[in-house]
Amino acid sequence: MRNTFIDAVIARGGNDLMIVSGDAGLGVFDEFRREVPDSFLNLGVAEQNMASFAAGLALTGHKVYVYNIIPFLLYRCYEQVRNDICYQKLPVVMVGVGSGVTYAPAGMSHYAVEDLGLAATLPNLTVLSPCDAREAQTAADFTLTAPGPVYVRLAKRGERAIHGTPVPDILQPLVVSAPDAADCAILFHGSIADDVMDAGKLLKERGISARVISLPCLQPLQEDVLLDMLQGVRMVVTVEEHYAETGLGGSVARLAANRRPAWKLRERGIPNRFLHEIHDAGGMRRCFGLNAAALARDIEGWLNDGR
Amino acid sequence: MNTTGISDTARRIRREIIEMAYRSGGPHVGSALSCADIMATLYDGVLRLEPWEQRDIFILSKAHAAMSLYAALAIKGILDAKSLESYCRDRGALPAHLDRFSAPGIECSAGSLGHGLNIGLGMAYGFNRQRCDRRVFILIGDGESQEGSVWEGALFAPRLGLGNVTVIMDYNNLQGYGRPREICGFEPVQAKWEAFGWQVVLTDGHDCQALLRALTAASDGRPRIVIANTVKGKGVSFMEDQLIWHYYTVTTEHHDRALRELA
């Protein structure tokens, strides 16, 4: 997903393309650096300078991509992102890798389980969380012509293909599995897609049909389109590798509070605390009930409770 | 423009600062007055502003001195002088700190310290990459160099060359709470920037001729910092080098006395 995104940007970017990194992404930009050496800068381990420098490049008419691990892209230099990039409405694309607990067991410093909450505080910022290479491809196309700032939340690589055909519009919710009559809908974004899809299969085996919807664009959320897609279900479950309170779960909860739909909402994400567990990414998901088996079990239980 | 003309512009900037501070009841008069000569020298004698599309860029990173920039832009006819009347007031045209969407000539939004230098470096690299000879001037405060981001930029810039960058430090030796050396000293400032690979020029920040010389000297290919020794509140005797004029607001009596001195 990461390489698909970067390769698409490099392939289709114009002369105004500038990619800067905060000393991350060894190997990812090798060919680009060889071909157009003045279009890539490693700005070193200095995130404040990185974010402001990117804003300056954009002020001179460049299309700027900033690449880093998410905490060092958004957290360390939050105020530079806020004041210099977003407040000034500059066409800077912040490409963050290591969504959720991708880098587990790297430790809390390297996890990104609250980035969407931070991004949600930034007006003018479009937030994309693609789930596979096809979404990443369309996301790349969108960012190349976006007039304002964009944050792209990526895992790393090797994500399972979810979409069988190209994704036409990255800003819209995308139905990836749509049985005629669904008992529930599962909303997700990003690399948790594999466990969500597997959970859908497990539920189907148990006679429960789930409408599965990917939300690659979390900001702005296409609320009316989403509400239409959710018609007829009695339960909506959000699943994400992020704190649910400040992620998709929170957004959908606000939507439900404002619009009073017929469905009940359940939110599933990383528990809202610092993580001291030592597991790989799969182990972390199991630990927090984000693996397919636990998701299927819990969704089945919630549906039965509601009967 | 000759230095008499520049000094006259500086005096007009100072008068406008007093008027703006008086009407708005806002602070930072001392900070704005300390860089009035720098602002006048830049806008009268240094910045190439024609054609506008190819102009040099000036970034006021110590944006709490915004009154000084607004005044200079108004005197140059870049910004509508009428907008000064509603500076920092309810339903006004100009905020206390810089918003680049508020008026023409504001190149960069600013207010939080330690941003402008790094944005300026990005712009300077951008211009070099576009093979154009536009230059970037950035004014920082002395207290501002306690920000780590300033040193991130200082450390990084020489690697890129960036001979089209000039940082000016308004070294008025008073920050919000006192003397920098008593709070978090950054001396020896010249040796530090030289060690980082910058061309360092020391100058009197109120001598327009010296400023003009420092700011128009040919680049040696390295980024340059001009350390301008200044006096906070310069030009108004009872404000000069007085910590309290970082915050004090201008009363009618202050206003009348100050304008008499700046006549």
ipTM: 0.97
First to last CA, chain A: 40
| A25 shares its domain with A144 | yes
pLDDT higher than threshold 60 for residue A132: yes
- Please report, to the nearest 10 degrees, the dihedral formed by the alpha carbons of residues B180, B183, B188, B190 taken in order: -40
| A78 shares its domain with A126 | yes
- In order of A57, A61, A200, the CA distances from A54 in angstroms are 5, 11, 42
| A20 shares its domain with A148 | yes
Q: Write phi, then psi, for B33 (nearest 5 degrees).
A: -65, -35
Q: Are A252 and A187 in contact (CB under 8 A)?
A: yes
CA angle (A138 as vertex; A134, A140 as ends), nearest 5? 115
| A129 shares its domain with A222 | no
When the candidates are 3.40.50.300, 3.40.50.970, 1.10.150.390, 3.40.50.10860, the CATH number that belongs to B3-261 is 3.40.50.970
For B125, the closest of A57, A84, A87 (CB atoms) is A57
Stretch B187-211: mean pLDDT: 97
Whether chain A has a CB inside 8 Å of the CB on B126: the answer is yes
pLDDT higher than threshold 90 for residue B1: no
**Residues of B with Cβ-Cβ distance to A55 under 8 angstroms:** 119, 122
pLDDT higher than threshold 90 for residue B129: yes
For B109, the closest of A41, A48, A88 (CB atoms) is A88
Q: To which H or E segment does residue A268 belong?
A: strand A264-270
pLDDT higher than threshold 70 for residue A95: yes
Nearest CA in chain B to A38: B129
Q: Are B117 and B167 in contact (CB under 8 A)?
A: yes
Nearest CA in chain B to A88: B109
C-alpha span between A9 and A139 (Å, rounded): 10
pLDDT higher than threshold 80 for residue A29: yes
- pLDDT band at residue A187 under the 50/70/90 scheme: very high
Nearest CA in chain A to B135: A60
Domain ranges of chain B: 3-261
Q: Are A167 and A135 in contact (CB under 8 A)?
A: yes
Q: Model confidence over A202-250: pLDDT tens digits?
A: 999 999 999 999 999 999 999 999 999 999 999 999 999 999 999 999 9
C-alpha span between B214 and B36 (Å, rounded): 16
- pLDDT band at residue B225 under the 50/70/90 scheme: very high
Place of tokens 């430790």: A107
- pLDDT band at residue B61 under the 50/70/90 scheme: very high
Tell me, yes or no, whether A58 lies in a domain: yes
Tell me, yes or no, whether A120 lies in a domain: yes
- In order of A223, A262, B165, B190, B200, the CA distances from B219 in angstroms are 55, 69, 9, 17, 11
For A59, the closest of B108, B114, B152 (CB atoms) is B108
- In order of A1, A129, A160, B73, B108, the CA distances from B102 in angstroms are 40, 33, 47, 13, 11
Q: Model confidence over A290-300: pLDDT tens digits?
A: 999 999 999 99
From the CA of A236, how many Å to the nearest CA of chain B?
A: 42
- In order of A110, A224, A266, A272, B115, the CA distances from A256 in angstroms are 32, 12, 11, 21, 40
Tell me, yes or no, whether A219 lies in a domain: yes
| A215 shares its domain with A250 | yes
pLDDT higher than threshold 70 for residue A307: no
Tell me, yes or no, whether A228 lies in a domain: yes
* pLDDT of the residue at B186: 86
Nearest to A296, CA basis, from A221, A169, A195: A195
C-alpha span between B31 and B170 (Å, rounded): 9
> A41 is in which domain, residue-wise?
2-153
Whether chain B has a CB inside 8 Å of the CB on A42: the answer is no
DSSP-assigned letter for residue B215: H
* Percent of chain A whose predicted confidence (pLDDT) is above 70: 99
- pLDDT band at residue B89 under the 50/70/90 scheme: very high
Place of tokens 């420092």: B214
Do A49 and B153 count as a contact with CB atoms less than 8 A apart? yes
| A6 shares its domain with A146 | yes
Stretch A47-59: mean pLDDT: 98
| A133 shares its domain with A211 | no
Radius of gyration of the CA atoms of chain B, in A: 17
- pLDDT band at residue B185 under the 50/70/90 scheme: confident
Chain mean pLDDT for chain A: 96
| A136 shares its domain with A220 | no
C-alpha span between B70 and B67 (Å, rounded): 5
Token pair in block for residue A289: 């009930």
| A6 shares its domain with A149 | yes
Nearest to A51, CA basis, from A14, A13, A90: A90
Report B:34-93 residues touching A (Cβ under 8 A). Answer: none
* pLDDT of the residue at A276: 97
Whether chain B has a CB inside 8 Å of the CB on A251: the answer is no
DSSP-assigned letter for residue A152: E
| A35 shares its domain with A101 | yes
